[in-house]
Amino acid sequence: MGMSDRLVEELLGAAHALADAAREETLAYFRRPDLSAENKHASSFDPVTLADRASEARMRAILADLRPEDAILGEEFDAKPGTSGLTWVLDPIDGTRAFLSGAPTWGVLIAVDSGNGPILGIIDQPHIGERFVGGLGRADLTGPRGMSALKTREYRPLGEAILFSTFPEVGSDIERAAFHRVAGQVRLTRYGTDCYAYGLIAAGQIDLVVEAGLQAYDIQAPIAVIEAAGGIVTDWQGRPAHHGGRVLAAANHAIHAEALAILRQAPEG
């Protein structure tokens, strides 16, 4: 969609305002000894904390003020319709298990979807103070070491690659088997870093992330950040991944093609 300079600045300003507010809300709870969680699903451990709800509620309140005509899709509350054609896609804490454990690999995910996928994304890690921004002409990381451009790494063969994932915790037996076929060919596999792994692709540190069972709010911000940095994100058939499901994120098209050739053999369903 065509977009004026003024709208670009408004969207960037609103996104940073959301990220700033979510930092404040989440850090008020992080590493507190009395932090508790309830289980969303009886059949699996899917915790939600007061921090999730406080973070999303604060972001929604800011959008009601700054962008009332936009729609909102978030993890913790019902979807809000809009009239502008833009949807804010929010995950107030991606990586709640890490949050509960005190590990600084969780993050706040903020994206703007134009109807055909994300045009802007932020991956924010409040405790470390790192913010990955991609889209609308931006591809940068701001953190304790200042600001730097985001750029994915150049191609190297699958056998030299670094792969990140939250497997084996997520996914079906078929999906886990497909993931392990990729993991069996790379140089190094690391587990459980949630959205931070996508930031590492954008920053040129790793090559691949393979996931399954994702929701739109899990992946839209990472898509925008990685694509702005020069990478590619699709599902396991090479199709758009902004609705979630099975996801392959890669630093470049060449290594994406190598991993995709393995993953696309997994039966769909």
Query: pLDDT for 8-47, tens place per residue?
Result: 999 999 999 999 999 999 999 999 887 666 655 554 544 5
Residue 164: CB atoms within 10 Å: 25
pLDDT single digits (tens) 132-141: 999 999 999 9
Per-residue tokens: 137: 């002409």
Quote the pLDDT of residue 248.
98
Percent residues over pLDDT 90 in the chain: 86
Domain 158-263 has CATH 3.40.190.80: yes
Res. 71: pLDDT tops 80: yes
**Is pLDDT at 48 greater than 70 in this prediction?**
no
pLDDT of residue 32: 86
| Distances 210 to 1, 90, 124, 176, 266 between C-alpha atoms, Å | 30, 21, 20, 10, 13
| DSSP secondary structure string for all residues of the chain | ----HHHHHHHHHHHHHHHHHHHHHHHTTTT-TT---EES-TTS--EE-HHHHHHHHHHHHHHHHH-TTSEEEESSS--B--SSS-EEEEEEEE-HHHHHHT-TT-EEEEEEE-SSSEEEEEEEETTTTEEEEEETTEEEEEETTEEEE--PPPP--GGG-EEEE-TTSSS-HHHHHHHHHHHTTSSEEEE--TTHHHHHHHTTS-SEEEEEEE-HHHHHHHHHHHHHTT-EEE-TTSS--TT-EEEEEESSHHHHHHHHHHHTTSPP-
Convert the pLDDT of each residue in 89-125 to its tens digit. Answer: 999 999 988 998 899 999 999 999 999 999 999 999 9
Q: How far apart are CA 141 and CA 73, in angstroms?
A: 25
- More confident: 173 or 155: 155
Q: Tally the residues of the chain.
A: 269
Q: At what angle do helices 173-183 and 253-263 cross, to 10 degrees?
A: 140
**Are the C-beta atoms of 225 and 151 separated by less than 8 Å?**
no
Q: Do domains 5-146 and 158-263 have the same CATH topology?
A: no
Q: Residue 82: which of 124, 59, 115 has the closest Cα?
A: 115
Domain boundaries in the chain? 5-146, 158-263
pLDDT at 211 over 70: yes
Query: What is the pLDDT averaged over residues 164-174?
Result: 84
CATH class in words for 5-146: alpha beta
pLDDT value for 46: 45
**pLDDT at position 167:** 76
pLDDT classification of 210: cutoffs 50, 70, 90: very high
How confident is the model over 218-237, as pLDDT tens digits?
Answer: 999 999 999 999 999 999 99
For position 41, what pLDDT does the model report?
A: 52
What pTM did the predictor assign? Answer: 0.94
The residue that leads in pLDDT, 51 or 187, is: 187
Mean residue pLDDT of the chain comes to 93
Q: What is the mean pLDDT of residues 237-259?
A: 98
